[in-house]
Structure 1
Amino acid sequence: MDADDVAEDLYRLPPVQFTAARNAQVVEAKRAGDAAAARRIAAFHKPTLAAWVSNLLARQKEEAGQLLELAEALREAHRTLDPGQFRTLSHQQHAVIAGLARQAGGLARQAGQPVSPSVLHEVEQILRAVLADPEVAERWATGRLTKVPAVSTDFPGTSPLAQVSKRDAEPEEPTPAPAREKAPDAAEEKRRARLKDAMKAATEAAAEASRRDDDVRRAEEEHEQATARRSAADERVALLTDRLGEAEEERRTAAEAADEAAVRVRDAAREQKAARRKAASASRAVERLSGGGSSR
C-alpha cells in the first residue's frame, strides 16, 4: 500500500470524514501486512476546516501557481530592497488573497461543505503565510496542510545572518577603500537599513489594512445574512397576518351564523310553547266534551 496515495485521497475528504477513513486505511494496511504504511497513515493529522478549504485551492494548479509566483516575487523584491516593485506587489497581494479566498469558499460549497466568514478569514491567514514563508508554501502546495500556520510579516533571505553570509562569500582581502569614501558607504548602509525598516513597516501596515478589509467584508456578509433572515421573517409575518385575517373573517362569519341560529332557536321555542299551549287547550276541550256526554 502506498501511503502517499492514501494521503492524497484522505486530504481530499471533508474533515468530518477524515478520521474514520484514515482508521479504515490503517486497518487495511495491517491486513495487507504493511506495518510501515499503517504507521505512516496512522500519523496523518486531521486538517482543520480552514486548512482543508485551502488544500482545495492548492489543487487548482493555475491558482496555486499564481500565488506561489507572487510569493517569490515579493521575496525577491524584499531581498533586493526595491520599494517600487514591493509596493506594487503588496497591492497585488491583497487583491489576490481576497479573490483566492472567495474562490476557495466556492470550491468548499461545490464539495458540499459551505463555510462561514470566520473560516474564510483563516483561509486568508493561510494564504498570507504562503506568501511570507517558503516552507509553508511548500507544505501548502502538496494539498496536505493541517492547520493555520503562524503569519510572518518578514521575508526569508533578509535577516542580518543572511547579509553576513554574503559578506563571508566575498574575497578575504578586499581592496581597502580610501578613508574619504567610508562616509558615503556608511550613509548608504544607513539608508538601506532605513529603507528595509520602512518596507517591513509597510508590509505590517498592509497586513493590518488587509485584516481590517477582512473585518469589513465579514461585517458586510453578516449584515447581508441578517437582512436575509429579517426578510424571511417579514415574509413569515405577512403570511401569518394573511392567515390571521382569514381566520378572523371565518370567525365573523361563524359568529353571524351563530347569531342567526340563536334567533331561529328563540323563534322555534316560542312556536313550540304556543303549540304546546294550543295542544293543552284542545286536550282540555276534548275532556270537557267527553265528560258532558256521559252525564246525559
Structure 2
Amino acid sequence: MDLENILDELYELRPQDFTAARNARAAEARKAGERDLAERIKGLRRPTVSAWAGNLLVRREPERIQPLLGLGEGLRSAHRSLDGDRLRELSRQQHLLVAALAREARDLAAAEGQAVGEAALREIEGTLLAVLADPAAAEEWATGHLDRPLTPPVGFTAASADTGAVTSRVTPSGPAGTAQDAGPERRGEAKTAHRDRERRAERDEARRAEEEQARRTERDQARREAEAADEEARESEAEHARAAEESERADARAEEAAERVDALTEELKEARAQLRAAEKEAREARARARTADDAAGSARRRARQASQRAERLTSGRV
C-alpha cells in the first residue's frame, strides 16, 4: 500500500465520508502487516469543509494554479518595494482572482453535495491569500492534502488591500505653504523632514497593521483550533459509540455461542449415554444369543443321542 495514493483517495472524499474510509484503510494496512503505515493512516485528520473545497480546486482545476502563483510572486515583489502603482494593479487582480477561485471551489463542493457557508468561503479566500503570500504555503496547497485552511502571513493581507495608503506613502504630494515659497535649501530641508515624517508614519502604520493582523490571525487560529478540537471530540465520541455498539454485538454473539456450546454439550452427554445403553443392550443380546446357541447345540446332541438309542433298540428287536 502506498501512502501517497491513500492520501489522494482520502482527501478527495467529502469530510463526512473521510473517517470511515480512513479507518478502513488503516485496518487494511494493519491486516497486511504494515503497522507503521496503519498508524500513520489512523493519525490523519478529517479535513474541514473549507480545506476540502480547496483540495478539490487543486485537483479539479490544476491549470488555475499557475496564474495564482505568478500573481503571488508579483504581489510579494511589489509589497517589498512599496511600488504603489504596481501593487494597486496587482491587488485589483488579486481580489478578482481570489474571489473567483473561492466561488469556483464552493461550486465544486456543491456539485459533490457539500454546502459551503460564508465562514467557510472566507477561509477558502484566506487559504488563497496565504498561497499568494508564501511559496511554502503554495507548495502545501498544491498537494491537495490540506486538513485545515491556511492563514496568510502577518501584514500581507492588510498591505495588499490598502493600496491607497501605500500609494500615498510612495507618491507624496510634496510640502505646502511656506516650504514651497522658501529657498532651495529650506525646501530641501522641508522635503527631508517630510520624508522622515512619512517614513516614521509608514513604520507606525505598518506596525499597527501587523499588530492588528497578528491579533486577527491569533483569533482565527484560536477559533479554528477550537473548531478542530470540537470536531475531533465529536469524531472520537462517534468512534466510541461505534466501538461500544460493536462490543455489545460481539458480547451477544459470544453469549449465543456459549449457549449453543452448552446445548451441544448436553446433547453430546445424552448421545454418549444412549451409546452406552445401546452397547450394553448389544452385549446382553450377544450373550443371550450365545446362551441360546449353546442350548440349541445341547438339544441337537440330545436329539441325536436319543435317535441313535432308538435305532439300536429297534435293531435289537429285529
- What is the TM-score normalised by the length of structure 1? 0.53
Q: Render the CA deviation track for 1:187-208: whole Å, top value 9, x for unaligned.
A: 9898677667768889999xx9
Structure 1: unaligned runs, 5 residues or longer: 156-183, 209-296
Structure 1 segment 98-177 matched on structure 2, within 5 A: 98-155=99-156
Distance 1:67 1:31 in 2: 43
Q: Which residue of 2 aligns with 1:179?
A: none
Question: 1:77 Cα deviation (Å)?
Answer: 1.5
Distance 1:197 1:78 in 2: 17
Q: Which residue of 2 aligns with 1:35?
A: 35
Distance 2:4 2:198 in 1: 49
Change in Cα spacing, 1:199 to 1:30, as seen in structure 2 (3 Å) is same
What SS class does the counterpart of residue 88 from structure 1 fall into?
A: helix
Structure 1 segment 273-292 matched on structure 2, within 5 A: none
Question: 1:66 Cα deviation (Å)?
Answer: 1.9
Distance 2:208 2:97 in 1: 21
Q: Are the aligned partners of 1:45 and 1:146 in contact in 2 as well (CA < 8 Å)?
A: yes
Q: Are the aligned partners of 1:129 and 1:137 in contact in 2 as well (CA < 8 Å)?
A: yes
Question: 1:37 Cα deviation (Å)?
Answer: 1.5
User: Which is higher, the Rg of structure 1 or of structure 2?
Assistant: 2
Q: Which residue of 1 aligns with 2:49?
A: 49
Structure 1 segment 118-267 matched on structure 2, within 5 A: 118-155=119-156
* Higher RCO structure, 1 or 2 (CA under 8 Å, sep 6+): 1
CA RMSD of aligned residues (A): 3.4
Structure 1 segment 12-27 matched on structure 2, within 5 A: 12-27=12-27
What SS class does the counterpart of residue 26 from structure 2 fall into?
A: helix
Question: 1:21 Cα deviation (Å)?
Answer: 0.4
Bigger Cα displacement from structure 2, 45-54 vs 133-142: 133-142
Q: Render the CA deviation track for 1:68-88: whole Å, top value 9, x for unaligned.
A: 221121112222332221111
Distance 2:39 2:6 in 1: 12
Change in Cα spacing, 1:201 to 1:72, as seen in structure 2 (3 Å) is farther
Counterpart amino acid of residue 134 in structure 1: P
What SS class does the counterpart of residue 114 from structure 1 fall into?
A: coil
What SS class does the counterpart of residue 152 from structure 1 fall into?
A: coil
Runs of 4+ in 1 over 6 A off after TM superposition: 184-193, 196-205
- What is the TM-score normalised by the length of structure 2? 0.49
Distance 2:53 2:34 in 1: 31
Change in Cα spacing, 1:186 to 1:117, as seen in structure 2 (3 Å) is same
Q: Which residue of 2 aligns with 1:95?
A: 96
Question: 1:39 Cα deviation (Å)?
Answer: 2.0
Counterpart amino acid of residue 27 in structure 2: V
Distance 1:15 1:139 in 2: 19
Question: 1:118 Cα deviation (Å)?
Answer: 2.8
Change in Cα spacing, 1:190 to 1:38, as seen in structure 2 (3 Å) is farther
Change in Cα spacing, 1:114 to 1:79, as seen in structure 2 (3 Å) is same
Structure 2: unaligned runs, 5 residues or longer: 157-190, 217-318
Q: Render the CA deviation track for 1:250-282: whole Å, top value 9, x for unaligned.
A: xxxxxxxxxxxxxxxxxxxxxxxxxxxxxxxxx
Counterpart amino acid of residue 103 in structure 1: E
Distance 1:58 1:69 in 2: 16
